[in-house]
Structure 1
Amino acid sequence: MPASTQVFLDRDPHWGIYTESGELVAEAAYERSPHRELVGQSRHLDLRDIDVVDGPFEEMVYAGPIIAHYGHFLLTSLARLWALDGSRPALFHSHPPIFDHNARFILELLAAAGLTRDNSYSFERPTRICRLVVPEASFFEQYYVSRDYSAAVEKIGNAIPETNRFEHRDYYISKARIGSGVASLADEEEIERAFRQEGFEIVYPETLSLPDQISLFRNARTIAGTISSAFHTVVLAPKGRSRQILFDYSDTPNSNFALIEHGIEANVSYYSLSDSVTRHHNDRFIAYYVAKDIESLARKMVQIAMPNPSQHDSVSNENCVPDFAGENYRDILKRLHLELAPTSYLEIGTLNGGTLALANAPSISIDPFFQIETAVIGSKEMCLFFQMGSDTFFDNYDPKQLLGRRLDLSFLDGMHHCEFLLRDFMNAERHSSRDGVIALHDCLPVEIPMTDRLQNGTPPVAPHRGGWWTGDVWRTLYAIKRHRPDLRVLCLDAAPTGLVLISKLNPQSTKLSTYYDQIVDEMLGLDLSQITVSGFLEQMDVQSTRTVVEPGSLIASLRS
């Protein structure tokens, strides 16, 4: 049943996907709120007097409703796109017809998802579909989010061209120029003035193109503002790049924000303004707030949003450098899996399973104490777990015999002592294919204390880095670069402590094993405080993750 041309979806009891007997297909329902309440629609319709026409396709896949509101579109209209592979035409509920919408963001996001007039349809009359595939919605507003959602929307966001409109600095999102909407704060210009005086650039999201909005969330250091759907844009941008400060007029923010934060691991802090504002009636806004003392409120908001100097660029000397501005290391690993398409995978140091879940190939996972917290099997036809140290594993098992092939990809994140990682690398390379890749984590420290061989042995210089422990595996990277110039070593500024990708492997090489004892003595004699953190990173030729953001560029860099 099509959506009505006269009312919004939530006031239309007739639209939806129904069986011949008039029962609403539960899997295709639009539900939101913690109780999963229907948005419009009816559990049952009497279709006896309805004129139904046959659809033009024998089989379609249901893609959900097109909602012209920006926030609802991002969360609901994109929620089923994870399942679209182009093999069947997609069916949307939409009025007007899909590609007649005036909202430019709708057309841009659908295009980025690969949807065109040739493969996407909506019907204006009751239409019979012989077979309709209904994928589960990966985001139920105010109720649930799945990993499928974050992966799908990030892929869509990555298909939007980068504009580099915004830099790594601080921004305040203002709603002062919006004439009507959900919520507004009177005299927000005073808030703008206070933020501007502290170096924040004021941004009006309704004036920005979609690529520019994504650029803001990709590149900003801090984004502050009153809670609004403008902050939903973060789902389209790589996670871990911006620190978001959201001010809410109530004591409890809309749960959609918590779902987004959980789904994409965003860096978000919430602060209530309920004690500082009162609600008033306004014909142009559903909720209109007036500050009890606008100058006091402005000072409070600025004080909360100001970056802690110890967390950002002002903490900068040769032995304590700013946080890496690159993508989160898991995002790079995810892309590496996609571009390399390994047929076998080895992981040392699985812990809770976050990185193992990225793999689809037959896998070996090694950890002396597993604490799996997520679904790690996925589509793997085989996943072998060995709860032991990596040395014990390689003394007793052969990955080639276990998986039936050499290793195409290994991720080494085990014991953070240089001699352990050196042995892990030697063993992984010995069992790798020549076209394989070995990834090393935590080899690019940003300050001296995190390089202690004892975890949390020295307090960090920057307080927010408490718990960041790289150990001294930076020494291993130093040794590999020095003793194996035949390898291709790509060091990336992936947050928080770098990612090193090594290719052009030689499984027959014995140089590291032959001189293992001498190399270990040499590594332990290195003094990072003398080399300096900044000097080490320069010697390692650390590259920005932006250099490998284009599809195929990561593998191209490893093959060059």
Structure 2
Amino acid sequence: MISLQRCTILWGSADIHDDDPQVRIVDNCVYLPYSHGGVWGLFSSDGRPVLEAIDFREGVHVPGDQRLPDGGRIDVAAAEGSDSTYIYVGRVNFHYGHFLVNTLPRFWNISKIKTPNTKILYHGPMSVEQIFSTPYVNTIFSMLGLAPRDFVRFASPTKIKHVVVPKTSFEEQRAGFAKYKTLCYDIGRRISHNKGLSENIETLYFSKTRLKSAVGIITNEIEVEEYMREKGARIVYPEQLSFEEQLQLMSAADNIIASAGSFLHTSIFCPPRNITCLNVTEQINSNYTIIDRLNRNSAGYYYPTAMQVLPQQDGYLTARYLPEARAVAEKLFEISKS
């Protein structure tokens, strides 16, 4: 007898806010450039981090790389200076899931506060050219009317006279703001308008079987994929699709089935979706729930209690084996239709 348990416990919280995130103007701060393994961020002259510029996880702790050691100070006199006003958007992270929940949420009011001459100040290891060479980032930023010329970062500590810091509209594993949904839905609407939707898909199955690296895999997921194919589901491999293609397919599907992965976050750009998710743990990462609540998705997360954890494999942080995978796939398919 297959035991498929519906997940009800969150890892984190998932509050939804209808009010706007705060926007703070910070005067006379110091920009420390991004340094992998070192300290970076926006700081006041006495060494305190600018809290509005930090992406907290679960709303609690300042990351270790964005605070100075106890008693540490910044040599303000040695820093270069800039009298321009900037809009700060945090670290630009090109990993798809982190881009959607850490980077993009800072842009919720960019169209209102940016003038043609105001530069967008960011942190990160990548140059502007490298950022825009990432196809989905290029697409999303272009939908916001942004181009490489709009972005800037500094290579050395820099004193800045004025920085506008919009607080994030998505607090990782804690809360989401209605403005984030509005931002993403407008982007999705523009893409759909440009591309057009010409098909309807009854069931769409997102498969990880062709991934070469990932946070986690189910080593025998191919058995689930084969069952879904036999039932007439359309099988897609998200890493082989452009952002526009993922968005179009997800928007066209009556039912979406997948194991948990950041590609499910694409639903925030779509109308409300029906999602049936094979969850590899008993708890739901609350980022999924935040997006589901913002987008008003009908989403269910199901954990097979017989799931087995395997030793770590090259290219993956976690690996699992799913006993009786076809029977689990059958139940998931039935649930998606109910």
TM above 0.5, yes or no, is yes
Shift in alpha-carbon separation, 1:171–1:14, aligned structure 2, 3 A:
same
Equivalent in the alignment of 2:29: none
Give CA deviations for 1:506-560 in whole Å, capped at 9, x if unaligned.
Answer: xxxxxxxxxxxxxxxxxxxxxxxxxxxxxxxxxxxxxxxxxxxxxxxxxxxxxxx
1:296 equivalent in alignment to 2:327: yes
1:268 equivalent in alignment to 2:294: no
Shift of 1:40: 3.1
CA distance in 2, matches of 1:209, 1:127: 37
Shift in alpha-carbon separation, 1:59–1:217, aligned structure 2, 3 A:
same
Q: What does residue range 111-122 of structure 1 map to in structure 2 within 5 Å? A: 111-122=142-153
- Three-state SS of the structure 1 residue aligned to 2:258 is strand
Match of 1:154 among 181, 185, 201: 185
Shift of 1:302: 2.8
Q: Is the 8 A contact 2:213 2:315 kept in 1?
A: yes
- Three-state SS of the structure 2 residue aligned to 1:58 is strand
1:54 equivalent in alignment to 2:81: yes
Shift in alpha-carbon separation, 1:94–1:50, aligned structure 2, 3 A:
farther
Q: Is the 8 A contact 1:276 1:293 kept in 2?
A: no
Q: What does residue range 422-441 of structure 1 map to in structure 2 within 5 Å? A: none
Residue 20 of structure 1 aligns to which amino acid in structure 2?
Answer: S
Equivalent in the alignment of 1:246: 277
Q: Which runs of 5+ in 2 are unaligned?
A: 1-31
Q: What does residue range 337-356 of structure 1 map to in structure 2 within 5 Å? A: none
Shift in alpha-carbon separation, 1:163–1:127, aligned structure 2, 3 A:
farther
Structure with max Cα Rg: 1
Shift in alpha-carbon separation, 1:274–1:162, aligned structure 2, 3 A:
farther
Match of 1:220 among 238, 250, 253: 253
Residue 248 of structure 1 aligns to which amino acid in structure 2?
Answer: N
Shift of 1:234: 0.9
Q: Is the 8 A contact 1:278 1:292 kept in 2?
A: no
Shift of 1:41: 1.3
Using the size of structure 1 for normalisation, the TM-score is 0.51
Equivalent in the alignment of 1:67: 93
Residue 243 of structure 2 aligns to which amino acid in structure 1?
Answer: L
Shift of 1:278: 3.2
Shift of 1:145: 0.8
Residue 304 of structure 1 aligns to which amino acid in structure 2?
Answer: I
Residue 73 of structure 2 aligns to which amino acid in structure 1?
Answer: D
CA distance in 1, matches of 2:151, 2:318: 36
Q: Is the 8 A contact 1:165 1:215 kept in 2?
A: no
CA distance in 2, matches of 1:107, 1:50: 37
1:82 equivalent in alignment to 2:130: no
Using the size of structure 2 for normalisation, the TM-score is 0.82
Residue 218 of structure 1 aligns to which amino acid in structure 2?
Answer: S
1:184 equivalent in alignment to 2:217: yes
CA distance in 2, matches of 1:75, 1:266: 17
1:16 equivalent in alignment to 2:41: yes
Equivalent in the alignment of 1:278: 309
Shift of 1:262: 1.6
Residue 26 of structure 1 aligns to which amino acid in structure 2?
Answer: L
Give CA deviations for 1:397-448 in whole Å, capped at 9, x if unaligned.
Answer: xxxxxxxxxxxxxxxxxxxxxxxxxxxxxxxxxxxxxxxxxxxxxxxxxxxx
Q: Is the 8 A contact 2:102 2:172 kept in 1?
A: yes
Pairs aligned (count): 298
CA distance in 2, matches of 1:91, 1:49: 19
Shift in alpha-carbon separation, 1:37–1:58, aligned structure 2, 3 A:
closer
- Three-state SS of the structure 1 residue aligned to 2:41 is coil
CA distance in 1, matches of 2:152, 2:222: 44
Please identify which structure carries the higher strand content: 2
Shift of 1:99: 2.9
Q: What does residue range 301-320 of structure 1 map to in structure 2 within 5 Å? A: 301-305=332-336, 307-308=337-338
Equivalent in the alignment of 2:15: none
Shift in alpha-carbon separation, 1:216–1:31, aligned structure 2, 3 A:
same
CA distance in 2, matches of 1:136, 1:121: 19
CA distance in 2, matches of 1:37, 1:230: 27
CA distance in 1, matches of 2:315, 2:198: 31
CA distance in 2, matches of 1:194, 1:275: 19
Q: Is the 8 A contact 1:3 1:14 kept in 2?
A: yes
Give CA deviations for 1:50-96 in whole Å, capped at 9, x if unaligned.
Answer: 842223x5211111210011011011111111121322321111321
Stretches of 4+ aligned residues off by more than 4 angstroms: none
Identical positions, percent: 25
Q: Is the 8 A contact 1:92 1:121 kept in 2?
A: yes
CA distance in 2, matches of 1:39, 1:257: 25
Shift in alpha-carbon separation, 1:257–1:39, aligned structure 2, 3 A:
farther
Equivalent in the alignment of 2:241: 208
Q: What does residue range 515-530 of structure 1 map to in structure 2 within 5 Å? A: none
Residue 78 of structure 1 aligns to which amino acid in structure 2?
Answer: L
CA distance in 1, matches of 2:145, 2:89: 13
